[in-house]
Structure 1
Amino acid sequence: MAVQWTQDLATGVEEIDSQHKELFNRINRLVEACSKGKGKEEISGVLRFLEDYVVMHFGAEEERMKSLDFPNYEIHKKMHDDFISDLQDLKQQLEQKGPTVALVIKVNHFLFDWLTNHIRKMDKVMGAFLKAKQQ
């Protein structure tokens, strides 16, 4: 089942929303590949994309939060750090066991959980704060 970007996910910060939309596109490519029985072929590319994505995206978010004294910066940063740690665990599993069906399922769940919990909750709060501070 594909995940759809909806306006209720928007943070109101164009750069961040644009990056989130790209994340949705990549996840949907994995979901589509899985529906065609090709998830194992797609998983390596998704994990490589995520490695680059977290450096760029988390860096942009954290820089903005720090520059505008976001009060929940430490909590938000910890969530980013946890995501990176979990991503490294997934990469290690890929390196050790290869692109198994179990890993594909795990990555799908991991990303869906991130989208529904982090973006919908934490990033929305951050976005509202950043938008208010920049006006």
Structure 2
Amino acid sequence: MLRDWSDVYLIGIAEIDQQHQGFFAAAHRLYEEILDREGKNAVVEAMAFMRDYAEQHFQTEEAFMREHDYPGLKEHMQLHVAFFRRLDGLEDDLMIFGPSQDLADRALDITQDWLIDHIADEDMLYSLHVKAREPRGNAA
């Protein structure tokens, strides 16, 4: 199910929260481009945008975690690598089979649903770590 952004996904770190909103929008765009099926090029462009956005976002997250000595950095980075592996599989299937409802559903699972779970579980952990270390609890 395509879900809209909600403030319940905020982790309280302004730059990361803004990127999460952009990542969410990119997931919507990818899903809609696949469903539109007007041509593989639009889907390929949306997929490339998603990959670029994820790379930039993950670099920001990882730098933030390094800056704040987050003890779970290595494990968190492994989750990012696993995301790209799933995205690779989606791209391979796009090239082999073309756009389809099944591909759109998988794209939604790989992008939006993964992101929501990742924010709620993993990103919230490093947010809490940073807030606990801040003198006034302000990590933004």
* TM-score, normalised via structure 2 length: 0.80
Unmatched segments (≥5 aa) in structure 2: 136-140
Aligned to 2:138: none
Task: Count residues with an aligned counterpart.
Answer: 133
Deviates more, 1:75-84 or 1:42-51: 42-51
Is 1:65 equivalent to 2:65 in the alignment?
A: yes
Displacement after TM superposition at 1:83 (Å)? 0.2
Aligned to 2:36: 38
Aligned to 1:79: 79
Task: Tell me the percent identity.
Answer: 29
SS of corresponding position for 2:69: coil
Aligned to 2:127: 127
Aligned to 2:15: 15
Displacement after TM superposition at 1:44 (Å)? 2.6
> Closer, same or farther in 2 for the Cα pair 1:107/1:39, shift >3 Å?
farther
The amino acid that maps onto 2:76 is H
Q: In angstroms, what is the RMSD of aligned CA positions?
A: 2.2
Distance 1:80 1:97 in 2: 26
Deviates more, 1:67-76 or 1:21-30: 21-30
Is 1:113 equivalent to 2:113 in the alignment?
A: yes
Distance 1:39 1:3 in 2: 21
The amino acid that maps onto 1:49 is F
The answer (yes or no) to whether the contact 1:12–1:128 under 8 Å persists in 2 is: no
Displacement after TM superposition at 1:73 (Å)? 0.9
Displacement after TM superposition at 1:7 (Å)? 2.1
The answer (yes or no) to whether the contact 1:19–1:57 under 8 Å persists in 2 is: yes
> Closer, same or farther in 2 for the Cα pair 1:39/1:106, shift >3 Å?
farther
> Closer, same or farther in 2 for the Cα pair 1:117/1:51, shift >3 Å?
same
What do the CA deviations read for 1:13-45 (whole angstroms, capped 9, x no partner)? 1111001101122223345567xx515655333
* TM-score, normalised via structure 1 length: 0.83
SS of corresponding position for 1:70: coil
Distance 2:89 2:31 in 1: 21
